């Protein structure tokens, strides 16, 4: 299901996504210390779509400690509206073994991504202020824990 992503592709993905550091402080640290080791351990999934040698889209997902989550979905502006986000999300869902993984979207990206997620059957379940950034995060597909009725998931994309 998951194809091998080589070190060069990982470096290119990290560089392409480094702008997320402004929205999610610690993004590069998360990528280096969670994503890369998680891929090796089989708990993280990273896939890309390329067009003429350019990164057109990237998806990162995790299946760890009972949490199935889409962590990052990115499509280059030149390739938006071509179904790349849809294709990446479907591939990650297949790897995760669920059509409804947990995911969160920053306020800055909410409008365009919300339409796609709802088209794929995702349900927005809450909106919360990320205490580290002060930005609003919109959560999809949260499930209540049976013990305490608290929503699962965190307020950061870097999980």
Domain boundaries, the chain: 7-140
In this prediction, residue 96 has a pLDDT band, given cuts at 50, 70 and 90, of very high
CA angle 155, 88, 128 (to 5 degrees): 15
> What value does the mean pLDDT take over residues 94-117?
94
Fold classification of 7-140 is: Aminopeptidase (3.40.630)
Tell whether the model's pLDDT for residue 146 goes beyond 70.
no
Q: Is the separation of the CB atoms in 112 and 57 below 8 Å?
A: no
Looking only at Cα atoms, what is the longest distance across the chain?
A: 50
In sequence order, what DSSP letters do the residues of 27-89 get, joined into one string?
HHHHIIIIIHHHHHHTSEEEEEEEETTEEEEEEEEEEETTEEEEEEEEE-GGGTTSSHHHHHH
User: What is the rounded distance in angstroms from the CA atom of residue 122 to the CA atom of residue 138?
Assistant: 12
The DSSP output letter for 136 is E
> What value does the mean pLDDT take over residues 117-131?
96
pLDDT given for residue 119 in this prediction: 95
pLDDT digits (tens, 9 = 90+) for 3-49: 567 889 999 999 999 999 988 889 999 999 999 999 999 999 999 99
Q: Is the separation of the CB atoms in 98 and 140 below 8 Å?
A: no
Look up the pTM and report it: 0.86
Q: Order of strands, edge to edge, in the sheet holding 102-106?
A: 44-51, 54-64, 67-75, 102-106, 136-140, 124-129
pLDDT given for residue 149 in this prediction: 39
Q: Is the separation of the CB atoms in 116 and 73 below 8 Å?
A: no
pLDDT digits (tens, 9 = 90+) for 60-92: 999 999 999 999 999 999 999 999 999 999 999
Q: Is the separation of the CB atoms in 58 and 74 below 8 Å?
A: yes
> What value does the mean pLDDT take over residues 98-120?
94
């Amino acid at each position: 299901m998951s194809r091998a992503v080589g070190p060069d592709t990982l470096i290119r993905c990290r560089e392409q996504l480094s702008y997320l550091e402004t929205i999610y402080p610690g993004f590069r640290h998360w990528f280096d210390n969670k994503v890369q080791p998680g891929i090796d351990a089989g708990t993280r999934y990273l896939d890309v779509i390329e067009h003429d040698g350019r990164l057109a889209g990237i998806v990162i997902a995790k299946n760890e400690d009972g949490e199935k989550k889409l962590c990052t979905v990115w499509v280059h502006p030149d390739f938006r509206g071509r179904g790349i986000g849809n294709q990446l999300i479907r591939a990650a869902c297949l790897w995760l073994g669920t059509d409804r993984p947990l995911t969160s979207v920053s306020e800055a990206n909410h409008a365009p991504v919300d339409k796609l997620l709802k088209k794929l059957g995702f349900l927005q379940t809450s909106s919360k202020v990320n205490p580290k950034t002060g930005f609003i995060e919109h959560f999809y597909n949260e499930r209540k824990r049976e013990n305490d009725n608290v929503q699962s998931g965190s307020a950061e994309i870097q999980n």
